Amino acid sequence: MIKSNESKYFAAVDSREAALTELSQKVWEYAEPGLQEKQSAKAIADYLESEGFRVQRGVGTIPTAICAEYGSGHPVIAYLGEYDALARLDQKVVTHKEAAHPEEPDRYGHGCGHNNLGVGAVGAAIMLKEAIAAGEVKGTVRFYGCPAEETLVGKVFMVRDGAFKDVDCAMTWHSHAYNGAWGACYTCMNSVKFHFHGIAAHAAGHPFDGRSALDAVELMNVSANYMREHVKPDVRIHYATICSCAPNVVPDECSVWYYIRAPKRKDVDEVYSWLCDCAKGAALMTQTTFDIEFLTGCSEVMPNDVLEKVMLEAYKDTGAPKFTPEDYAFAKEIAETYPEVLARDRRVMKEEYGVNGDDKFLCDVVFDKVIEDRLVAPGSTDVGDVSHVVPTYQIYVAGQGIGCPGHSWQMTAYSGSHVGFASMLCAAKVMGLSGLRLLENPELVKEAWDNFHKNQTEPYVSPLPADLLPNLEQTN
């Protein structure tokens, strides 16, 4: 139940509804690639500064990262917020597919709702700031602007560079079709490019003078596909060949980009080492050379039972996002573009979480049961690395319709609509209230750390080489 001293801080979010919505809308319109979120980071940093936060622009090796804080001493409560967009997902806020900037086909769009993630975390930080400023609670609130989540770069580098070393608890959220605590573990991952170098030659006249870098990539991929049978069943290996060659030239340059995923870091490391041997073999077979560009890696998410309880209680007390009749009408109309997934997700709601959503297009209740509780979900997130250095927890807030596909034009439309903004305001309140309760009851922070130590069975090692710099040009 909400106490009266808590409900008054909801006003900190409500009174800024227009400003927060405008900020989110701005970030949605900028729609910048990961590590290039210059305008988005500036808009967020400027806003936090106007709210009285001490703002650091650029964190460690990442220029578009932000660390903004208010208050002093421990506990230090951190909110993690993103603002990177996805390639080729430009879209208007309408219920049919229509680019907002058709003249720019490669334009990025917020097809994962990160405009709302970042600003939701800003709202939470402001709510807690107000409580600290009023002398209601003691401690520090921090907003971490975390670039390039989609490419799993930002937080992993920030963790390696020590950005979270004095944080007591971290919280974050993601847009979803459902409302609830999010208990999934996700997979560890390495993202690596192998660049092969050969000798160019006329493909018909002098092929014997050439050495094909594309042949090397093809042989490496063949060997990786044979290796696939002999790795653990839950290992995932995906690749994309990068070659701008034509059939009439023996290509001297060709690259292949691999992702390796597995529930445990040890398995990723083993498969990665085997894959490097595949590259060596391919180079030997084709008389080419190669070098490795290690882009990033990330770790699995370590849930925290104590923060889970705190956040789920705060969520139930706050309630689901406040949707308008227009939001429901928008969701009903756009759902015509994903009828199968709508039916499946309604089934999941009923069978897994006991919520009858048969006539719903937007989820307007908070689930009692933890979503994907301790499951190894197939994707990866850089929140994982934060969760290995500080007790961390995330919630899902409905910022999209039931059944809305992820990374899609529909998602870009939702993220720029009132549905997305309603989820952002809700997330701000749930995370703000959770932070308030942690500062009111510092023994919960200690319990969160006890649980952290219990769950962490092996010491955390960054998946990144110590001297690796982020590739600021890397956008996909």
> Which residues lie near Zn ion (CB under 5 A)?
112
- In the complex, least distance from residue 87 CB atom to Zn ion, rounded to whole angstroms: 14
- In the complex, least distance from residue 175 CB atom to Zn ion, rounded to whole angstroms: 7
CB nearer Zn ion, residue 128 or residue 395? 395
- In the complex, least distance from residue 430 CB atom to Zn ion, rounded to whole angstroms: 18
Structure tokens at 138: 């003691």
CB nearer Zn ion, residue 112 or residue 302? 112
- In the complex, least distance from residue 304 CB atom to Zn ion, rounded to whole angstroms: 20
Nearest position to Zn ion, beta carbon: 112
CB nearer Zn ion, residue 112 or residue 428? 112
CB nearer Zn ion, residue 112 or residue 397? 112
- In the complex, least distance from residue 164 CB atom to Zn ion, rounded to whole angstroms: 20
CB nearer Zn ion, residue 75 or residue 81? 81
- In the complex, least distance from residue 326 CB atom to Zn ion, rounded to whole angstroms: 25
Nearest to 383 by CA among 207, 212, 64, 146: 146
- In the complex, least distance from residue 379 CB atom to Zn ion, rounded to whole angstroms: 9
CB nearer Zn ion, residue 380 or residue 474? 380
CB nearer Zn ion, residue 85 or residue 370? 85
CB nearer Zn ion, residue 112 or residue 126? 112
Rg (C-alpha) for the chain, rounded Å, is 23
- In the complex, least distance from residue 114 CB atom to Zn ion, rounded to whole angstroms: 6
